[in-house]
Structure 1
Amino acid sequence: MSLKIAAEVYPKSPSETVMEPLIVVNEYDEDRHKVAVEKLERLCEVGQSGKPSLVTDLMGDPICRIRHFQLHVMLVAEYGEGGEVVGVIRGCVKTVTRGNSVYVKLAYILGLRVSPRHRRFGIGTKLVEHLEEWCKQKGAKYAYMATDCTNEPSVNLFTKKCGYSKFRTLTILVQPVHAHYKPISSNVAVLRLPPRLAGSMYDQLFANSEFYPKDKDSILCNKLNLGTFMAIPKKYFSKCDPKRGILPPSYAILSVWNTKDVFKLQVKGVSPLAHACCVGTRLLDEWMPWLRLPSFPDVFRPFGVYFLYGLHMEGKCGAQLMKCLCAFVHNMGRDGGGCGAIVAELGQRDPVRDVVPHWRKFSWAEDMWCIKNLHKGSFQNSDWFTSRSSSPVIFVDPRDF
């Protein structure tokens, strides 16, 4: 599959503009494109404007972030006769709820990169259009993407040039993993649920939410899934039997996804003073461990994260139980090695959002999701936009993170 597009070449004089077919869009081929794509990723993720940035370093094959979806593709834009890779985009298609137990086929677009030297030629737009066409052929009715609301180039590309509309705004909560265990109340029992039982419970809890994936079994049984955990008061332990649907009046549940083998994160571009202060907190913690300081982890070297999903709490003790579960996962990350943070992404109306522990300076409040109806061309006229889900919960697929 290939598509030639026209790119505008900078004129030799102000009055001269030349249009030549310079760019070809192809499907990713590991033998031809792997090294070039990795180089492009590094080039595009260097911190810009001298500001601190969070750099993502993919592990292994560049297609690893989408390979856990049954329907997925990665496209590359090649320049000139030599086939220089100047752009890349990834996408997948899945079936999810749009709220009120109604399922729809949805495409997720991610990982758009264009070489800094080849921007403003419409390459990003053409990559999006070509990917949308592939998604339509696979039966997708809608497509969506996520970006930080402060990323103006990305927001403008999708909303002003590609016909997407701002749809949902989520909050990303980040809890760094430090050297000390977090205490868990002796009155709380933490149970590990088998995948089939976890899937059955999630079907009941998230049926009316948005973006709940129909293939949740493939997520819960995936090797990157570290388990589904449930916290209950110990006084109800003998009376509780989740397999038979007998649950206590208060409980909390979540699942843990391990991203360490998919990508690493690293903070770059901070000032020497900020770096020294972070190192100082760790040295102070080593010298006086009895103070149990939540020292700042070494985020200036590559680190992995554990992603929390499927978070739900019930009853008057639900908030306390959810905090215990988050502490339990923090301790898992501490023992697991190489885990620098625990991350959760939640809708702004989700009651769990106010309970999950996090560091405010590490977290960001507005992760913007934009969406488009691939068949009507105008999302505002689609039924998903006009119908409101009965649930405040947005289920974030860990494969999307």
Structure 2
Amino acid sequence: MSVKIAAEHVPKVVAVREYDDERDKVAVEVLERRSEEGQKDKHALVTDLMGDPVCRVRPFPIHIMLVAEYGKGEIVGTIRGCVKTVTLGNSVYVKLAYILGLRVSPTHRRLGIGTKLVQKLEEWCKQKGAEYAYMATECKNVASINLFTKKCAYKKFRTPAMLVQPVYAHYKPIGSGINIVPLTPKLSESIYRRIFANSELFPSDIDNILSNKHNYGTFIAYPKKFSWDPNAEIVTTLPSSYAILSVWNTKEVFKFHLKGVSALAYAGCMGTRLLDACMPWLRLPSFPDVFRQFGVYVLYGLHMEGQHASRLMKSLCAKAHNLALDDGGCGVVVAEVGQQDPVREAIPRWKRLSWDDMWYIKRLGDVSEKCEPSDWMNYDQSSSSVIFVDPRGF
């Protein structure tokens, strides 16, 4: 697959093909670093991929990575994608493509390479049966938004909230009178299929997610005064008040580090750590060292019900924070939820570190009759307040 670049004084040809680990790994790693260094935003979180470049999409059963070759085999662009089966919001499942990891070398931008990569990936997704494709980006990433909306015909879809909590140097207290117990993958699957049946984007292969090596575990919190058997294989009843979430460890997939911070801000952050080390009895909320590589714990499958729901969810988030603290190399705990999801208000976060994500969607082909009443292309339609965010997409 190849196309001539429609740009003045650029007679060379770009060829898009599937990534080959032996042939392309080193060049792709160089491209990733150059793309991060070429960011215009001086204050940014930089992603450092761990392992092979396909690691971010490998957990998806159907996935691919494409590279763009320029001239005599120079790798100047990459893109990753996958296809999954998810709920449309009414217990109906559709095939949905997820596009991520688009990178173009800073020296080869504005040549149509990004557009070509997206188009070729969409062709592959359609061959795999995808009815829709979507991508996520930050609202300040104007170049990415323009590419997908103006050149590739994507439309605004959802704006979930990305809630970020630093991992401090001290354990967070768990509320008194609360049971927090781990669940088996089988029981977790049974509960999730029950409570997320009418949500958006709930994956049909939730069992694969819960049994994945990156999944740290699923935990449920409920008042001690309620009797409930957490050892059952299939859920028949749940406590009248409970909260549940799962933890996904990204440390083996990618890590972050913060760049572009002023010397004053750096000194202030590190000063809190020094002060806390000198006077640990004060239990100061010392800021984690995010200026070196750090891992991320992703909270997903968050749900709560009942009179004590908010308090239970806060205790679960404290449990996740403490697990991250025990891990040692984790700098933040992240949860992404719908703007109208009730759990949003119960999740701890730092406003300065949190933001609203921007999701854009496109119909790839004819939508089956079962989808018509809830066509995702109608952004103004009433939809589920709950979005199940797949942790494999981080």
Please indicate the TM-score interval, normalised by the length of the shorter structure: over 0.9
Question: Helix, strand or coil: the match of 1:74?
Answer: strand
CA distance 1:251–1:381, shift in 2 (3 Å): closer
Structure 2 Cα separation of the partners of residues 161 and 54 of structure 1:
27
Gapped regions of structure 1 (runs ≥ 5)? 12-17
1:50-65 pair list within 5 angstroms = 51-65=42-56
User: Contact conserved, 2:132 with 2:364, CA < 8 A, in 1?
Assistant: yes
Q: Shift in Å at residue 336 of structure 1?
A: 1.2
Asked if 1:29 is matched to 2:20, the reply is yes
User: Contact conserved, 1:98 with 1:104, CA < 8 A, in 2?
Assistant: yes
Structure 2 Cα separation of the partners of residues 219 and 244 of structure 1:
19
Q: 1:172 aligns with which of 162, 168, 172?
A: 162
Question: Helix, strand or coil: the match of 2:159?
Answer: strand
After superposition, what is the alpha-carbon deviation per residue over 1:193-251, rounded to whole angstroms, capped at 9, x for unaligned? 10111111101110101110000000000111011100010111367776552322110
1:77-92 pair list within 5 angstroms = 77-81=68-72, 83-92=73-82
Asked if 1:262 is matched to 2:260, the reply is no
Aligned equivalent of 1:292: 283
Aligned letter for 1:231?
A
After superposition, what is the alpha-carbon deviation per residue over 1:119-173, rounded to whole angstroms, capped at 9, x for unaligned? 1110000000000000000110100000001110000000010010001001100
Q: Shift in Å at residue 185 of structure 1?
A: 1.9
Structure 2 Cα separation of the partners of residues 9 and 183 of structure 1:
60
Q: Shift in Å at residue 383 of structure 1?
A: 2.4
TM-score, normalising length from structure 2?
A: 0.95
Q: Shift in Å at residue 391 of structure 1?
A: 2.8
Gapped regions of structure 2 (runs ≥ 5)? none
Structure 2 Cα separation of the partners of residues 137 and 108 of structure 1:
14
TM-score, normalising length from structure 1?
A: 0.93
Asked if 1:385 is matched to 2:374, the reply is no
CA distance 1:244–1:146, shift in 2 (3 Å): closer
Asked if 1:4 is matched to 2:25, the reply is no
Question: Helix, strand or coil: the match of 1:236?
Answer: coil
- Greater alpha carbon shift after TM alignment, 232-241 vs 323-332: 232-241
Q: Shift in Å at residue 385 of structure 1?
A: 3.3
Aligned letter for 1:384?
W
Question: Helix, strand or coil: the match of 1:150?
Answer: coil
User: Contact conserved, 1:190 with 1:230, CA < 8 A, in 2?
Assistant: yes
Aligned equivalent of 2:225: 235
Q: 1:321 aligns with which of 306, 312, 322?
A: 312
After superposition, what is the alpha-carbon deviation per residue over 1:359-394, rounded to whole angstroms, capped at 9, x for unaligned? 111111x201000000159x9998233495663100
Q: Shift in Å at residue 331 of structure 1?
A: 0.5
Aligned letter for 1:153?
A
User: Contact conserved, 2:362 with 2:377, CA < 8 A, in 1?
Assistant: no
Structure 2 Cα separation of the partners of residues 23 and 381 of structure 1:
41
Count, aligned residues: 389
Structure 2 Cα separation of the partners of residues 77 and 390 of structure 1:
37
Aligned letter for 2:76?
V
CA RMSD of aligned residues (A): 1.9
Asked if 1:339 is matched to 2:330, the reply is yes
Aligned equivalent of 1:129: 119
User: Contact conserved, 1:228 with 1:253, CA < 8 A, in 2?
Assistant: yes
Aligned letter for 1:229?
F
Aligned equivalent of 1:363: 354
Identity %: 64
Q: Shift in Å at residue 4 of structure 1?
A: 1.0
After superposition, what is the alpha-carbon deviation per residue over 1:268-316, rounded to whole angstroms, capped at 9, x for unaligned? 1111111010000001111111111111100000000110000000001
Question: Helix, strand or coil: the match of 2:246?
Answer: strand
Asked if 1:111 is matched to 2:101, the reply is yes
Asked if 1:197 is matched to 2:187, the reply is yes
Question: Helix, strand or coil: the match of 2:321?
Answer: helix
Structure 1 Cα separation of the partners of residues 248 and 257 of structure 2:
19
Structure 2 Cα separation of the partners of residues 316 and 240 of structure 1:
20
CA distance 1:341–1:47, shift in 2 (3 Å): farther
User: Contact conserved, 1:98 with 1:389, CA < 8 A, in 2?
Assistant: no
Structure 2 Cα separation of the partners of residues 47 and 228 of structure 1:
38
Aligned letter for 2:275?
L
